[in-house]
Amino acid sequence: MERIADAVEREADVRVIARNVALAGNLFVPREAKGIVVFAHGSGSGRNSPRNRFVARALQERGLGTLLFDLLTVAEEAVDSHTTEFRFDISLLADRLTGATDWLTELTAARSLKTGYFGASTGAAAALIAASRRPESISAIVSRGGRPDMAGDALARVRAPVLLIVGSRDNPTISINQRALDKLNVEKELVLIPGATHLFEEPGALEEVARLAGRWFVDHF
């Protein structure tokens, strides 16, 4: 187990050990952190997702720690780039996220902190499944343009408060999230970002996602 100090004031490259698989990650833990948010990226993306990194920087400015990591190994990503066979394997992604959460709780820098998940696209489903497996460890969940429907029966077992964020012009995803919201038995909210589409590329849209996410995590940490 890596020994990482009580604070990681600059984003550090780490090896996240998830179920005996080493995954590349970036960890930031400010002094007197209010909690730490683990990111689960969406289909075909990774820890360098510009949208997730934008949100991560906004959370860091609010005194929150962040962990961004690749859910797939380098070899798996090479295969997936041609076959897409791993990016939709929600069970595998949830296993990796659960393993990363267990790894995180053993680090000196993070073991005493409240933990939350920020999931995008299929990563939101992985986050919800992982949270249902570790109800004592996860304090809040935020989904950005997510596919919570792919969490299936796990939705009813989630115990952490859930915020679903969708663009108001992303009609298919709105319907998916509305149905998922009905299956959640926790504090929950669905927020539509006015004028935004699925990737929140419109001016100010991603800033609003980051603001809402930051408030949700701080309130529930």
Confidence of residue 6 (pLDDT cuts 50, 70, 90): low
Domain extent listing, the chain? 8-220
**pLDDT one-digit tens code per residue, 83-112:** 887 888 899 999 999 999 999 988 988 888
Mean pLDDT score, 38-57: 89
DSSP per residue, the chain: -----S-EEEEEEEEEEETTEEEEEEEEE-TT-S-EEEEE--TT--TT-HHHHHHHHHHHHTT-EEEEE-SS-HHHHHHHHHH-TTTT-HHHHHHHHHHHHHHHHTSTTTTTS-EEEEEETHHHHHHHHHHHH-TTTEEEEEEES--GGGGGGGGGG--S-EEEEEETT-HHHHHHHHHHHHH--SSEEEEEETT--TT--STTHHHHHHHHHHHHHHHH-
Mean pLDDT score, 177-196: 98
For domain 8-220, the CATH class is alpha beta
This prediction has a pTM of 0.93
